Chains A and B, each alone.
Chain A
Amino acid sequence: MRKNTGKLLGTVARYVCYAAFLLVILFPLYWIVTMSLKEYKDIIAFPPKFWFTPTLDHYREVLFGGASFSSVSNMPEFLRYVLNSLLTTGSAVALGLVLGLPAAYVLGRVRTKLNEQIAGTFMSYRFAPELAVILPLYAIYKNAGLYDTFIGLILVHQLIVLPLVVWIMRGFFREIPRDIEEAARIDGANEWQIFLKVMLPVVKAGIGSAMIISFVFSWNNLLFGLVMSGGGTMPVTMGILQTMTFDQIKWGEMAAAAVVSSVPGIVIAVFAQRFLVKGLTMGAVK
């Protein structure tokens, strides 16, 4: 009897903890989503309003309005930032995979001391402050005409993407049994065929993980945009800051912009959470 009461208490305590975690994680998200749907007077109301008449005005303003202060094109500014981010991040991930997959394959399959050191160096770049590279790079870019260009930004984003791809994929490649490689070799496949036609299909799920993770961290980055892009390539994260002008913060538009810029992350959380977790933990395996 006593044992059952103890067990029940334990279960109750557990669910109370679950509820607390859920509340802490979800409440801020709920708050910014509702803020993006509130009229200005409801946003600044105190005490805060839980019940209000929702409006899509801020989304309309962010996504379709605002063209008035964009003389360059007729496209609304914020939508252009979204496209800039898609182009930069998409290409950066693609380049990262092209460079990183073969490297990760070698570093994962051939475990020499030198290779371990190279893999470690990739990771140590991940831990160093980015400014140590991009501050001097800013001067180089200005001279080379790469400042505020997509090519320049895509290259800079390799600082994030490449270490992630190499580190995550190294773990996936290492898990493949030797037999598969040997069998292909006996069949007369050369090294490149083994890599492209045998190994890559086996680690398909891993490539998905690496893509998702590097996409998110590249998309979410603000610092590279701040340093390396002017008006032409500004990413979506900087677009959010544009709603905060010198004399006022347009809270509603800021919230709407924030929600729009979070869409890729939320889609991944809901539909590809498994890949994300697998990728993160695979990178954690030695």
Chain B
Amino acid sequence: MKKHGVLSVFTDNEKVARFFMLMPAFLVLVGILVPFVMGVWTSLTDKKLYATHSNFVFLQNYIDNFTNPVFLTSLRNTLLYVLMAILLQLPLGLLAAALLDIPSRTKGFMRTVLVFPLLIPPIVSSLMWKTMMQPNSGMLNYLLGLFGIDSFPWLTGIHTVLFSLVIVDTWIYLPFVTIILLSGLQSLPSDILESAQVDGAGPIRTFFSIKLRWLKTSILLILLFRICDSLKTFEIIYSTTRGGPMNASRTLNIMAYEEAFRWSNTGQAMSIVFTLWIIAFVVSTYLMGKWNKSGIE
């Protein structure tokens, strides 16, 4: 059956064949490191976008960042955004998943509707919410007015803008959180649940003492995705406030983008991106480690 020839090593030898199967994607993985390393280097220079010459300034860009109040505000906004997003999305996702886990005739329909926000472009969702959040003519303030509540500044208030953006973020990504938690709930072996019922545990106790524990792996995965994605959130902010009003919604990613393409300070921009990258790297490495270990015990 087997052909003999130069090619036979390539096709018949298990190890060689697998090496070649993995190689192309692996090369892309390595290839991506080239611009990345160049970027690290750029962050140590005073490179301008269209200048051909640049000087090595070592850590000066980073030192400038940490003495720049706009950078510190952006850092604070980034972290606050992540924190609010998690605190809003995890409990709501748990509630939605618990509800959808109950057998019901409407389940198929609910699930189809549930995935809408995840599938339409984030820029569409953001602009959609922006129109509804218009302070004078928007739908949301009109609805609040019906209940006699004063109009809310939403994206135009320096104290409300970040929270308003998190609402948009939650609308978009809650389906993802719910899907992961729901699949976690549905993988729960039924004998565990039955033995809890035999022991006389009510639905609420079952949820907290059994289901929540079972969901540990799913929750870690959600933290991993949602923290890392919120850290670098871009499209929602870019298409609505671009960091305003008065830097109140400026995050590191938005600041880096503007620094590069509005002010042409490539070196400075790279130093901001890498500060963000380091945060994302530490968080993702830690959570991926935890996630890998979870469930083995």
Contact = CB atoms under 8 A, between A and B. Distances in A.
A99 B285 CA distance: 25
Given A32-B131, A220-B120, A258-B128, A281 B180 contact: yes
B116 A29 contact: yes
A193 B129 CA distance: 51
Q: Summarize A's interface: helix, strand, loop or mixed.
A: helix
Interface in B261-280: 261, 266, 269-270, 273-274, 276-277, 280
A132 B39 contact: yes
A98 B28 CA distance: 12
A55 interface: no
Interface residues of A, number: 87
Contacts of B224: 127
Interface in B216-247: 217-218, 221, 224-225, 228-229, 231-232, 234-235, 238-239
B39 A136 contact: yes
B26 A103 contact: yes
A237 B106 CA distance: 33
A258 B274 contact: no
B128 A32 contact: yes
A87 B121 CA distance: 17
Interface stretch (B61-69, B82-90, B95-103, B190-198): B95-103
B113 A99 contact: no
A261 B119 CA distance: 11
A29 B276 CA distance: 33
A36 B14 CA distance: 57
The CB with the most chain B CB atoms within 10 A, among A105, A125, A254, A281, is that of A281
Contacts of B139: 31, 48
A56 interface: no
Nearest to A126: B228
B81 interface: no
A205 interface: no
Contacts of A76: none
B121 A237 contact: yes
A41 interface: no
A270 B253 CA distance: 33
A14 B21 contact: no
Given A222-B238, A261-B121, A190 B128 contact: no
Contacts of A103: 21-22, 24-26
B1 to A, nearest CB: 4
A46 interface: yes
B270 to A, nearest CB: 6
B120 A262 contact: yes
10 closest A-B pairs (Cβ-Cβ)? A265-B119, A191-B17, A103-B25, A188-B1, A102-B21, A136-B39, A281-B183, A127-B228, A129-B232, A262-B120
9 contacts: A46-B142, A103-B25, A122-B25, A131-B253, A133-B35, A192-B11, A216-B119, A222-B121, A222-B239
Interface of A: 14, 17-18, 21-22, 24-26, 28-29, 31-32, 35, 44, 46-48, 98-100, 102-103, 105-107, 110, 118, 120-137, 139-140, 158-159, 162, 166, 188, 190-193, 195, 216, 219-220, 222-223, 226-227, 236-237, 240-241, 251, 254-255, 258, 261-262, 264-266, 268-270, 273, 276-277, 280-281, 284, 286
